[in-house]
Amino acid sequence: MEKVRFSIPNISCGHCVMTIKNELGDLPGVTGVEGSHETKTVDVEWEAPATLEKIKATLQEINYPAA
């Protein structure tokens, strides 16, 4: 299991965090997503078949790219 904290400058509210949680949560292998609009960060836990590259690509696709 891997875990990374992403800094995401585009987060501005709780709705942004929920969108990210829903989208990343749908990726096979992602086991946990927590975020905060106050700190503009998202913590993601995953295992195979999810990869760091897939997670970053998904964030880019939904217009919340990691800094």
pLDDT in tens, 26-49: 999 999 999 999 999 999 999 999
3-state secondary structure of 33: strand
CB atoms under 10 Å from CB of 36, counted, come to: 12
pLDDT tens digits, residue range 52-61?
Answer: 999 999 999 9
Give me the residue label for tokens 């999810």. Answer: 50
Place of tokens 């096979």: 28
Q: What is the pLDDT of residue 20?
A: 98
Smallest CA-to-CA distance from 46 within 33, 57, 62 is with 33
2-47: CATH topology:
Alpha-Beta Plaits (3.30.70)
What integer pLDDT is reported at residue 15 of this predicted model? 97
Q: Where are the alpha helices (DSSP H) in the chain?
A: 14-25, 52-61
